[in-house]
Each structure stands twice: as structure tokens, then as C-alpha cells.
Amino acid sequence: MNPFKYSNTNKRYHTLDYYYKNKFHSKVFKVSLNAGFTCPNIDGTVGYGGCIYCSKSGSGEFAGKKEDSLKKQFDEIKNMMLNKWPHAKYIGYFQARTNTYADVNTLKSLYETVLSFDNVIGLNIATRPDAISEECLDYLEELNKKTYLTIELGLQTTNEKTAKLINRCHSLSCFEDMVKKLRKRNIDVVVHIINGLPYETKEDMLNTIKYLNKLDIQGIKIHMLSILKDTPLEKLYQEKHFKVLSKEEYIDIVVSQLEYLRPEIVIHRITGDPKLDDLVEPNWLVKKFCVLNDIDKEMVKRNTYQGIKAN
């Protein structure tokens, strides 16, 4: 018998599929979109060049083409899903770059365009904690009363030395303040973290989880660091040859992280999903389902589950 209560499968962690099915009583898909945003860490507002791991698409590898309308991007992905799940509902996912980094009228036009599409039940908006103005917060609070809204905040690590190395250009206190501001308005928060950042130890990665576990967050995305072609990270890797986690090390760390996470926190992602053509290292990342299956096997082997060490 599965000891984990937030599951209707063999999973011993709180999957997004389980959460959506319980909330919406339907299959739900996120449709990744590229609305052509830039980033304050690229245009010089807080920094130049972006985070060192970021691809040219700004973490939007599976979003649409920014040259296409949001409707065209949405329909192309939706039509692929329709064959398998004809009665699914959809969440518009503003994924590429920093999706609150514009004036509020621009944001309203983009967000409400997507909300007008058939069977769209909400929005996920990926952004940075230093790129949400007070005016934007007020608008998001209003939007949250009308639809299912989630803000995805990039943190990546709580290690300030690593944050400087990867050129995040915001502080940990800035991140924490924004989580509190969003939660004060009852807006759900999902946090992105990256395992395997240069020179980080397992203890560093567990410390990031222990820190997040004390905050009022609703979900988390756990990524493995992808070293992608034509990025500053690739240059650093070629010069310094820093250690890249093996698949076995990654699985060990993720299972240990899950043990410390409160069981009600939803796991939106548990591994990376790079494009093969862009990937330098680690090659094992391309076998996503093997990684997922091995995480399940390791949890059974340890007889453990999400939250077992949360207190």
C-alpha cells in the first residue's frame, strides 16, 4: 500500500497530475507560450547577459515562436493534445524569459487574450522576484479572483555565492519578500530550483529545500542543470570542467529533497527536459522517463515518501 496520501498511483510524491485531477476533476495541460518578453537581467536594468545557463530562448525551449500570435502558438500545442485527451482543460503558461516585465496594460492584453481561448481555466506566469511592480501585484490580485492563477518564481539556489556565479542579480531577501507579497494577495507561488549548479554540494541543495519548506509556497519545480550550447555556462564548463552530477547522484539528491518537503507542496517538475540538439551535458537527461522511473524505484527501495522528514 502506498504510504503517501496525495497520490492515486504508485508515486510517493505530490504530482501535478494528481493535484489538477483533484482540483478540476479533469485532465489539465499547461500550454507553453512565448509572448516575446525580455528580462531585467539581459537589458541592463539589473544585469547583462542573463543567467549563465539560460539558452537563447530564455528557458522557453518548448514554448511557441515569438513571431507567431498567441492564438497560433496555443492552437498548435492544443491540437497535438486533442487526439489523446479530447476533453482536457488548459492552462496558458507564459514560459519564456520574464513574463511580468512590461507595463500593466501590455500584461492585461496578453494574459486576457489567452484567458479568452476555449477551455482555458487559468494562467501560469514565469517571472523573477525583482520584476513584479506594485501596480502589477494589484492587477495580479484582481486577476486571481477571476481565474486560477499561479506565479512561478525563479530562485535556483539559496547559496548567495552560487547565485553570484550564475549571474542571478537578485538577493535571497528580494525573493522572500516577493513570496510574502504574493501570498498576502492569496496568489499561489511555484518556485524553480536547479540541482547540480557549479561547485554546489548535496548539503547546499538540501539547504535550498529546507529553506523553501519554511515558506508559504504551493509548488516547486526541480531541474537538473543543463549545460547548453552557446551559453556562458558552456564556456565555464569547457574552461573549468566543474563536476556534473551523475544520474545516480541526481536521483539520490532529489529523493532526499522530497523527504524534507512538506507533503502538500505540489511537485510541478522533477527533472530537466532539454532539447537534445542543444545539450552538452549531462547526456542522461535526455532519457526523462528513465530518470522518473528510477526516482520512483529509489523511493520504494528506501521505503520513503515526500515529507517524511519535513518536521
Please state, in angstroms and as integers, the Cα–Cα distance from residue 144 to each residue in 29, 106, 122, following that order. 19, 17, 9
Provide the residue-wise pLDDT of the chain in tens; the chain has 311 residues.
677 899 989 999 999 999 999 999 999 999 999 999 998 888 888 888 889 998 765 554 566 788 899 999 999 989 888 888 888 999 999 998 899 999 999 999 999 999 999 999 999 999 999 999 999 999 999 999 999 999 999 999 999 999 999 989 899 999 999 999 999 999 999 999 999 999 999 999 999 999 999 999 999 999 999 999 999 999 999 999 999 999 999 999 999 999 999 999 999 999 988 888 899 999 999 999 999 999 999 999 999 999 999 97
> Are 245 and 205 a contacting pair, CB within 8 Å?
no
pLDDT score, position 49? 83
Return the ∠ at Cα 122 (arms to 39 and 131), rounded to 5°. Answer: 20
Give the Cα separation of 107 and 114 in Å (integer).
11
Helices (H) and strands (E) in the chain, counts: 10, 9
Q: What is the per-residue pLDDT for 131? A: 94
Largest Cα span, the chain: 54
Instruction: Determine phi and psi for 232, rounding to 5 degrees.
Output: -60, -30
Q: Which of 151, 129, 156, 126 is nearest to 139 (CA)?
A: 151
| pLDDT score for 42 | 86
pLDDT at 63: 65
For residue 253, the model assigns a pLDDT of 98
pLDDT of residue 57: 56
* 3-class DSSP assignment, residue 109: helix
pLDDT for the residue numbered 234: 95
Q: Could you confirm whether domain 16-302 is CATH 3.90.1260.10?
A: no
The per-residue pLDDT for 304 is 96
So what's the pLDDT on residue 126?
A: 96
Give the pLDDT of residue 198: 97
Q: Which of 259, 207, 192, 179 is nearest to 58 (CA)?
A: 192
The number of beta carbons lying within 10 Å of the beta carbon of residue 271 is 23
Q: How far apart are CA 180 and CA 176, in angstroms?
A: 6
Under DSSP, the state recorded for 192 is E
Q: Delimit the domains of the chain by residue range.
A: 16-302
Per-residue CA distances from 124 to 116, 118, 143, 253 (Å):
15, 16, 12, 27
Whether residue 306 contacts residue 4, with contact meaning beta carbons closer than 8 Å, is answered with yes
pLDDT of res. 3: 78
pLDDT for the residue 46: 86
